[in-house]
Homo-oligomer: A and B are copies of this chain.
Amino acid sequence: MIKAGIIGATGYAGAELVRILLGHREAEIVWYGSRSYIDEKYAKVYGNMFRLVEDVCRDDRIEELAREADVIFTATPQGFLAGVLTEDILKNTKVIDLSADYRLKDVKVYEDWYKIEHKSPQFLEEAVYGLCEVNREQVRHARLVANPGCYTTCSILTAFPLVKEGLIDPDTLIVDAKSGTSGAGRGAKLPNLFCEVNENIKAYGVSVHRHTPEIEEQLGYGAGRQVTINFTPHLVPMNRGILATEYASLQKVKQPDGTLAIPTEEQVQAVYEKYYGKEYFIRLLGPGGCPETKWVEGSNFVDIGFQIDKRTGRIIMMGAIDNLVKGAAGQAVQNMNLMFGFKEQEGLALAPVFP
């Protein structure tokens, strides 16, 4: 039984970590960190945890926590972890960061998109991007894991195999993503009020959303070169779920008869299966399959389907996740499982809740 501490336990992602870790047989939570609710009972902040969590919230002294815990999850605003991380901490404990501080290898890209100075770029090289299905082996040996963003997890996994195998031209990639409102956090802000979100849909952060460079960097590794894409997030009147609808031009590939032609449905599906066929958490719906966010709600699954449009030569790829699970806390626990040699599904055997 390892000891886990959470800094930022009272945000939605932190709360989902609590829900998942409560059912984990190899880890126990020893620290519910929350700057806003110090000394308040956690179950007062999250009524669903009444009688399940008796602890009170503690502050965010990560150095003290590092001596107590085997693993620390930081579900904190951008810049927090970078501002406090030290070699001492990493010597004492493993860190899984749900913020963006260590996701981008290039500090300049980070500072350009996040508009803050990075206070400890010295750990950027060591940090492993915790997209388990892509970087599983590196994660196993990591001390510091940068847990991917919610949009990015969904966007990257949906397109990665086709980029890697050259079936699509990555520079034609357009990601039109739709997210439930929990992705906006628990801050009391006017645009997130029920009456503003309900019966409404809108795009936001068009062409400037911070998840863009993260998608580009990871797909760039797949493509073997720099990639530039369009990414447009939308706010949907639902609590959970991300759907990414992705468009790209198919590239001609060599056919069995030696000619060049755009890939068939079978060829696309074969590529998906090559990469994900054995992945427990990725469910391939096959050609024509349209994932629905409701079918993955509460679970760590990624559902992926696609449709080829021969008229335009494009493929429409679609991926769905629960933004708080595979898009945040679930993937963080999956990373923890890898880092500590636990069974990868431990604590994550969460059947999707429907309806």
Contact of A50 among B198, B240, B303, B308 (CB under 8 A): B303
Interface-forming stretch among A64-72, A75-83, A267-275, A289-297?
A: A289-297
Q: Is A188 an interface residue (CB 8 A)?
A: yes
Contact of A198 among B229, B232, B238, B312 (CB under 8 A): B238
CA distance A245 to B235 in the complex (A): 13
Look across to chain B and name the residue whose beta carbon is closest to the beta carbon of A46.
B354
CA distance A353 to B239 in the complex (A): 11
Q: Is A311 an interface residue (CB 8 A)?
A: yes
CA distance A285 to B203 in the complex (A): 13
Q: Is A109 an interface residue (CB 8 A)?
A: no
Contact of A199 among B15, B202, B241, B349 (CB under 8 A): B241
Residues on B with C-beta less than 8 A from A181 are 193-195, 198
| Known A48-B294, A202-B293, A316-B207: A195·B19 in contact at CB below 8 Å | no
Are B295 and A50 touching (Cβ within 8 A)?
yes
| Known A186-B195, A195-B182: A201·B292 in contact at CB below 8 Å | yes
Look across to chain B and name the residue whose beta carbon is closest to the beta carbon of A53.
B351
Q: Is A12 an interface residue (CB 8 A)?
A: yes
CA distance A295 to B46 in the complex (A): 8
Residues on B with C-beta less than 8 A from A245 are 176, 203, 232, 234
| Known A182-B355, A247-B174: A199·B199 in contact at CB below 8 Å | yes
Q: Is A103 an interface residue (CB 8 A)?
A: no
Residues 212-238 (chain A) with a chain B CB within 8 angstroms: 228-230, 232, 234, 236-238
Are A291 and B202 touching (Cβ within 8 A)?
yes
Q: Is A352 an interface residue (CB 8 A)?
A: yes
| Known A50-B285, A174-B247: A197·B200 in contact at CB below 8 Å | no
Q: Is A204 an interface residue (CB 8 A)?
A: yes
CA distance A294 to B199 in the complex (A): 6
Contact of A193 among B192, B203, B232, B291 (CB under 8 A): B192
Residues on B with C-beta less than 8 A from A320 are 202
Residues 166-197 (chain A) with a chain B CB within 8 angstroms: 171, 174, 176, 178, 180-182, 186, 188-190, 192-197
Residues on B with C-beta less than 8 A from A199 are 180, 199, 238-241, 293-294, 297, 355
| Known A48-B351, A294-B200: A186·B190 in contact at CB below 8 Å | yes
CA distance A318 to B202 in the complex (A): 9
Q: Is A8 an interface residue (CB 8 A)?
A: no
Residues on B with C-beta less than 8 A from A288 are 206
CA distance A355 to B171 in the complex (A): 36
A322-355 near B? 1/0 per residue, CB < 8 Å: 0000000000000000000000000001011111
What are 5 A-B contacts with C-beta separation under 8 Å? A192-B193, A199-B294, A203-B318, A206-B290, A236-B236
3 residue pairs, one from A and one from B, having the closest CB atoms: A200-B294, A48-B352, A195-B355
Besides A195-B355, A200-B238, 5 other A-B contacts (C-beta < 8 A): A15-B354, A48-B297, A48-B299, A194-B194, A204-B290
